[in-house]
Amino acid sequence: MTEKQATTAPLQNARIAVLGYGSQGRAHALNLKDSGLDVVVGLRPGGPSWSRAYVDGFAVAEPADAVRGADLVAVLTPDMTQPGIYKDAIEANIKPGATLLFAHGFNVHFGQITPRADIDVVLVAPKGPGALVRREYEIGRGVPCLFAVHQDATGHAAERARAYAAGIGGARAMLIETDFKEETETDLFGEQAVLCGGASELVIKSFETLVEAGYRPEIAYYEVMHELKLIVDLFYEGGIARMLEFISETAQYGDYTRGPRIVDAGTKERMKAVLTEIQDGTFAREWTAEYKAGLPNYKAFKQRDLEHPIEKVGAQLRARMPWLATNQPKPAAEEATKTS
């Protein structure tokens, strides 16, 4: 079966419980509902998400109540909250033969959640934030999705995963089959080595290098932070080849000769070490312990970044860019997937 052949038919008579109503949760729930599927949203009572889901037209219930009787339960809350939600709301309430679905394999792969043996366990992971998943669906397109089967108690786990992906629009674009291990480990590595950790540190260290050499912070900001979006957009549209097509020959020569001096064999070896820590569970154990301790290091790291000079000069410069206001993504607090 190709992605174009995947339909919502296997879920047409199913009750779907979506736990969480943050970035991904709201997008999934709305897309599923607009695809004609029966959706209930499971949330803690009293929070702003409860009201928002109700206004959006959903039946809303506490997580345990939403799970009871559901044929598919989609867990779309933050990673660190999921083991508690599974224990308190799902384990005793999900019916035999139902499907438990995740959008990231972290907790199942690293053993934080051990699902009951009498249920299907699958993964559907859109390769984009919730706002994009919703926007692409609304205009008749979709965001590519990874899907995987961890446990097939009924013999229908794969078709249910594909049906769910079709319901959120993924089958309009591309479905790529994987497994929980591959999705989890590559996702974490991409975040740490490039998309978040690597990119952030490259920008910060470049900014510091220019400022320490006597260049004005405003100029440094534009050169190493602001213009990065232009390059990333070219990567996104057509890969490295398109980026090279649209930059000057001078920039190309600098790319070819200086880039490998910045990100060299030593960098790759350190990337391998980071990947090993993901693969052997070191990162998962560290992050789980940090969360249980109340996030002391996380909070300190976050505050350090917020106080960095690049953030202060950036805020001043962005205030003079009125075009950003009409194009601004939602604040991280709104976009983060949360339960209330």
Give the model confidence (pLDDT) of 178-210 as tens digits.
999 999 999 999 999 999 999 999 999 999 999
Q: Is 65 annotated as a binding residue?
A: no
What residue segments make up the domains of the chain, in order of their start?
Answer: 9-178, 195-321
**Catalytic annotation, residues:** 104
| Integer Cα distance of 7 and 148 in angstroms | 17
Does the structure show a pLDDT above 70 at 329?
no
Q: Is 23 annotated as a binding residue?
A: yes
Give dist(CA 319, CA 246) in Å, integer.
28
* Model confidence at 335: pLDDT above 90: no
Query: Where would I find the H helices in 293-338?
Result: 296-306, 309-318, 332-335
The predicted-structure confidence for 201-255, as pLDDT tens digits, reads as follows 999 999 999 999 999 999 999 999 999 999 999 999 999 999 999 999 999 999 9
Asked whether the predicted pLDDT for residue 173 surpasses 60, the reply is yes
Is residue 248 part of an annotated ligand binding site?
Answer: yes
Torsions phi, psi for 238 (to 5 deg): -160, 20
Burial of residue 171 (number of CB atoms within 10 Å: 0-12, 13-18, 19+): buried
Cβ atoms of 132 and 150 within 8 Å: the answer is no
For the segment 113-134, what is each residue's pLDDT rounded down to a tens digit?
A: 999 999 999 999 999 999 999 9
CATH number of 9-178: 3.40.50.720
Q: Residue 167: exposed, middle, or buried by beta-carbon count in 10 A (0-12, 13-18, 19+)?
A: buried
> Does the pLDDT value for residue 330 go beyond 60?
no
The answer on whether 303 is annotated among ligand-binding residues is no
Q: What is the mean pLDDT of residues 298-313?
A: 96
pLDDT for residue 6: 82
Q: Is the pLDDT of residue 93 over 70?
A: yes
